[in-house]
Amino acid sequence: MQKILTGNQSAAWGAMCARAQVVSAYPITPQTTIIEELADIVAKGLLDAQFIKVESEHSAMAGCIGAQAAGARTFTATSAQGLALMHEMLHWAALARLPVVMANVNRAMAPGWSIWTDQNDSLAQRDTGWLQYYCESNQEVLDTVIQGYKVAEIVNLPVMLVLDAFFLSHTYEAVDIPGQERTSEYLPPYKPSIYLDVDDPHAFGGIVPQDIYMEFRYKMQVAMNEALEAAEQADRDFKTMFGRGYGLIEPYRLEGADYVLATSGTVTSTARSVIDDLRDKGHSVGLLKMKLLRPFPVELVRGVLAGRKRVAVLDRDICVGMGGIWTQEIRNALYHLPEDQRPSVYGYIVGLGGRDVKPETIEKIALDVQKRSIEEGEQVWIGLKE
Other CB atoms within 10 Å distance of the CB of residue 306 = 14
208 φ, ψ (degrees, to nearest 5):
-115, 120
The domain limits of the chain are 2-242, 250-381
- Which residue from 274, 336, 267 is spatially nearest to 302, judged by alpha carbons? 336
The domain defined by 2-242 folds into Rossmann fold (3.40.50)
Tens of pLDDT, residue by residue, the chain (386 residues): 999 999 999 999 999 999 999 999 999 999 999 999 999 999 999 999 999 999 999 999 999 999 999 999 999 999 999 999 999 999 999 999 999 999 999 999 999 999 999 999 999 999 999 999 999 999 999 999 999 999 999 999 999 999 999 999 999 999 999 999 999 999 999 999 889 998 988 888 888 899 999 999 999 999 999 999 999 999 999 999 999 999 999 999 999 999 999 999 999 999 999 999 999 999 999 999 999 999 999 999 999 999 999 999 999 999 999 999 999 999 999 999 999 999 999 999 999 999 999 999 999 999 999 987 667 778 899 999 87
- Between vectors from CA 115 to CA 110 and to CA 121, what angle results, nearest 5°? 55
pTM of this structure: 0.96
CATH fold of 250-381: Rossmann fold (3.40.50)
Predicted local confidence at residue 294, as pLDDT: 98
In whole angstroms, give the CA distance from residue 286 to residue 261: 6
Q: What is the pLDDT, as a whole number, of residue 379?
A: 86
Inter-residue contact 365 to 333 (CB < 8 Å):
no
Which residues share a beta bridge with 176? 2
Decide if 2-242 and 250-381 have a common fold. Answer: yes
For 197-245, how does the pLDDT look when each residue is reduced to its tens digit (9 = 90+)?
989 888 888 888 999 999 999 999 999 999 999 999 999 999 999 999 9
pLDDT number for residue 311: 97
Q: What is the pLDDT of residue 205?
A: 83
Are 136 and 265 in contact by the 8 Å Cβ rule? The answer is yes
- Give the pLDDT confidence score for residue 374 in this predicted structure: 66
Q: What is the pLDDT of residue 206?
A: 85
Pairwise CA distance, residues 141 & 139, whole Å: 5
Measured distance CA(104)–CA(52) in Å, rounded? 18
Give the pLDDT of residue 378: 80
